[in-house]
Amino acid sequence: MDVTLAAGGAWTDPACPVARTVDLIGDRWSLLIIRDAMDGATTFTEFHQRLGIARNILTDRLRKLVEYGILDKSAATDGRRHTYRLTEAGQDLFTAVVALRQWGERHAFAPDEPHSILVDDQGRELPELHPLGQDGAPLSAEASHVRKTA
Amino acid sequence: MDVTLAAGGAWTDPACPVARTVDLIGDRWSLLIIRDAMDGATTFTEFHQRLGIARNILTDRLRKLVEYGILDKSAATDGRRHTYRLTEAGQDLFTAVVALRQWGERHAFAPDEPHSILVDDQGRELPELHPLGQDGAPLSAEASHVRKTA
DNA sequence: TCCAATAAGTTGCAAAATGCAACCTATCTG
DNA sequence: CAGATAGGTTGCATTTTGCAACTTATTGGA
């Protein structure tokens, strides 16, 4: 299930997709939960240990992410564990996570400061992600604008 | 100036670029301020009117975004106005904003629900943004992983 | 079988962030 | 020089977040 039906509607800006996305995952923890899910975390305890988030807040965020259709919760074969997995919509956040990560790599670390990097199966660093126009050339913010729809 | 030197260091996860980026702009308003800056907003009043944000919070966010090297503040020719403009680092967030926007378009609206779209100078909608591997094929979260650096 | 450990929460209370409305100061305009 | 405009600041109420202790269910081992 997609987000669509969730959250009756107290959107920051009802027609803007950026605002909606921020309303759903624009807090201190949600994106980091999603990041860790992409990196293999599946249980409450795993998320808790990796993030150092307060347990009640983690409970709340996991519940909301499930409600929004970003995570799926199921009982593990284990019996006492639960398993949280990214839905298709959750996996589709990969692009956004990569974009935020690459910006951080470029602008939020000192030149000599160590930081983790994202690599492919062959251990090669990912190419930089940039919006392209229809012609395939990089597109800047000035060369684009928001069009309101009816 | 880049973020690099700002913020003494109470990072959520000191080595993760995603966490750093979220620490800097992962709140309810910063990304929307940046979105509006990309859409042409430059003054305190403009941001306030577009966002409906509380004035003291806007003051605080603008101050932080300037401190982080994302916005630049200058006196307008006007004399009583101030002008906030995206720095190079701020403009470089365009990729992330587009990624979040496109995810929202795909997953946060009902099929028939109207929402704004991002178009280029010729009025054509932007192509979907996706991480690619070195070979140019789309890369999924499973086909990549985080490598810790010393 | 029973008991300690593990997993996933819940609850109560303190602290921090956010929001609202009124107030303040400087500049600009008529 | 008076009113309007721009960009704040301040005090207080509300909401969100965080911490620590407590609860329930399951599980593996003595």
Looking at per-residue pLDDT, the higher value among B97 and A136 belongs to B97
Question: Is residue A19 included in any domain, yes or no?
Answer: yes
Place of tokens 């940046």: B34
Average confidence (pLDDT) over B48-72: 98
Question: Is residue B115 included in any domain, yes or no?
Answer: no
Cα angle at A68 between A64 and A71, to 5 degrees? Answer: 80
Return the H-helix or E-strand segment holding B61.
helix B55-67
Quick: pLDDT tens for B104-115.
999 999 999 999
> CATH number, domain at A50?
1.10.10.10
Residue A100 and residue B96: Cβ atoms within 8 Å? yes
For residues A12 and A19, the answer to whether their CB atoms sit within 8 Å is yes
Give the pLDDT band (50/70/90) at residue A7.
low
Q: Which of A129-138, B13-22, B61-70, B80-89 has the lowest mean pLDDT?
A: A129-138
Percent of chain A at pLDDT exceeding 70: 93
Residue A80 neighbours by CB under 8 Å, 6+ apart: none
Mean pLDDT, rounded, of chain B: 92
Percent of chain B at pLDDT exceeding 90: 81
Here the tokens at position A127 are 């190419």
Residues from chain A that touch B21, judged by Cβ atoms under 8 A, are 100-101, 103-104, 108
Question: Is residue A128 included in any domain, yes or no?
Answer: no
Here the tokens at position A12 are 């920051």
Residue B118 and residue A92: Cβ atoms within 8 Å? no
For residues B107 and B115, the answer to whether their CB atoms sit within 8 Å is no
Question: Is residue B23 included in any domain, yes or no?
Answer: yes
Question: Is residue A146 included in any domain, yes or no?
Answer: no
Question: Is residue A138 included in any domain, yes or no?
Answer: no
**Residue B71 pLDDT greater than 60, yes or no:** yes
pLDDT of residue B3: 58
Helix (H, G, I), strand (E, B) or coil at A41: coil
Domain count, chain A: 1
What count of CB pairs under 8 Å joins A to B? Answer: 265
Give the pLDDT band (50/70/90) at residue A82.
very high
**Residue A6 pLDDT greater than 70, yes or no:** no
Give the pLDDT band (50/70/90) at residue A5.
very low
pLDDT of residue B136: 84
B112 touches chain A (CB under 8 A): no
Per-residue DSSP letter, A13:
S
- Residue A18 lies in domain: 3-91
Looking at per-residue pLDDT, the higher value among A112 and B150 belongs to A112
**Residue B5 pLDDT greater than 80, yes or no:** no
Residue B69 and residue A38: Cβ atoms within 8 Å? no
Question: Is residue A104 included in any domain, yes or no?
Answer: no
Per-residue DSSP letter, A112:
T
pLDDT of residue A24: 97
Place of tokens 């564990």: A81
For residues A104 and B21, the answer to whether their CB atoms sit within 8 Å is yes
Quick: pLDDT tens for A8-64.
457 888 899 999 999 999 999 999 999 999 999 999 999 999 999 999 999 999 999
Here the tokens at position B61 are 């966010």
Helix (H, G, I), strand (E, B) or coil at B126: coil
Question: Is residue B112 included in any domain, yes or no?
Answer: no
Q: Which of A35, A40, A13 is nearest to A25 (CA)?
A: A35
Return the H-helix or E-strand segment holding A58.
helix A55-67
Question: Which CA distances in Å does A114 have to A109, A110, A111?
Answer: 8, 8, 8
Beta bridge partners of A148: none
